[in-house]
């Protein structure tokens, strides 16, 4: 299916996912996978709203984690993931600062409905396919005091899109929320007890 600039992220997402708390053993999650393609990892308290999203794993990554031992899912394989409103269009996503979040190496965009509940998972490949198709024409930049984002509105929920990133600094493990990402200048982790740069890889 061709992706148009006004296509919503939800229109190219999959509903083939399940949710699991971050402290669930990967073997148990793998046993529940059935034919689901993704596992949305939640905070250990099981908060299944958008605020509880920690990461999103492919079924293959969960299976690999299950083969590696009994460690908690979020600690074995917890790549960054992007969280966005389902009504965001591809043009809106790619015109805003949110497109920089793909530089974190996220594999999926977790979508939320208007009630901030998880409604689907969009493979990042869909965004890459859209950008490579020639259909996207970037909007002209009109710089304000905070850059071109002053004039850029995204349909959906306040505060989105953003990325959820588990800090891999030894002894940290805090989940950070980022509105944009510059790989040349990684931000500081928001851990109040230990000031260090956000580390995205173990």
Which conformational region is residue 34 in: left (phi greater than 0), alpha (psi within -120 to 50 degrees), or beta? left
Q: To 5 degrees, how large is the angle CA 89–CA 92–CA 94? A: 105
**For residue 76, what is the domain's CATH number?**
3.10.580.10
Residue 172 in domain? yes
Residue 3 in domain? no
Range of the domain at 102: 15-134+148-178
Residue 188 in domain? no
Q: Any idea which residue has 């529940």 for tokens?
A: 32
Residue 129 in domain? yes
Residue 107 in domain? yes
Candidate from 87-96, 110-119, 126-135, 145-154 with smallest mean pLDDT: 145-154
Whole-angstrom distance, CA of residue 202 vs CA of residue 169: 7
**Confidence at residue 149, expressed as pLDDT on a 0 to 100 scale:** 44
**Which pair of tokens denotes residue 21?**
């708390």
Q: How many residues are present in the chain?
A: 202
Mean pLDDT, residues 98-114: 94
**Which pair of tokens denotes residue 24?**
């669930």
Mean pLDDT, residues 96-104: 92
pLDDT tens-digit profile of 51-62?
889 999 998 888
pLDDT tens-digit profile of 29-49?
888 888 899 999 998 776 777
User: Does the structure show a pLDDT above 60 at 142?
Assistant: no
Beta pairing, strands 162-166 & 175-178: antiparallel
pLDDT tens-digit profile of 6-16?
999 999 999 99
Beta pairing, strands 118-123 & 53-58: unpaired
**Confidence at residue 145, expressed as pLDDT on a 0 to 100 scale:** 43
Residue 93 in domain? yes
pLDDT tens-digit profile of 153-173?
455 577 789 999 999 999 998
User: Does the structure show a pLDDT above 60 at 183?
Assistant: yes
User: Does the structure show a pLDDT above 50 at 151?
Assistant: no
Tally of domains within the chain: 1
Residue 194 in domain? no
Beta pairing, strands 81-85 & 162-166: antiparallel
Q: Is the pTM of this model over 0.95?
A: no
Residue 20 CB burial class (10 angstroms; 0-12, 13-18, ≥19): buried
Residue 102 in domain? yes
What DSSP designation does 43 have? Answer: -
């Amino acid at each position: 299916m061709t992706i148009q600039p006004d296509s919503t992220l939800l229109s190219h997402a999959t509903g083939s996912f399940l949710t699991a708390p971050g402290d669930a053993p990967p073997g148990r999650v793998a046993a529940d996978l059935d034919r689901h393609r993704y596992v949305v990892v939640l905070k250990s308290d099981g908060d299944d709203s958008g605020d509880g999203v920690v990461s999103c794993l492919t079924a293959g990554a969960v299976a690999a984690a299950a083969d590696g031992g009994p460690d908690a899912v979020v600690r074995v394989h917890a790549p960054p993931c992007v969280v966005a409103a389902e009504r965001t269009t591809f043009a809106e996503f790619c015109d805003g600062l949110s497109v920089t979040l793909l530089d974190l190496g996220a594999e999926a965009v977790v979508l939320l409905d208007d009630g901030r509940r998880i409604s689907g998972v969009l493979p990042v490949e869909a965004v890459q396919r859209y950008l490579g198709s020639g259909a996207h024409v970037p909007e002209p930049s009109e710089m304000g005091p905070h850059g071109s984002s002053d004039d850029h509105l995204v349909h959906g929920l306040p505060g989105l899109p953003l990325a959820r990133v588990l800090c891999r600094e030894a002894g940290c493990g805090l989940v950070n929320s980022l509105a944009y990402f510059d790989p040349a200048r990684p931000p500081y982790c928001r851990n109040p007890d230990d000031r260090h740069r956000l580390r995205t890889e173990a």
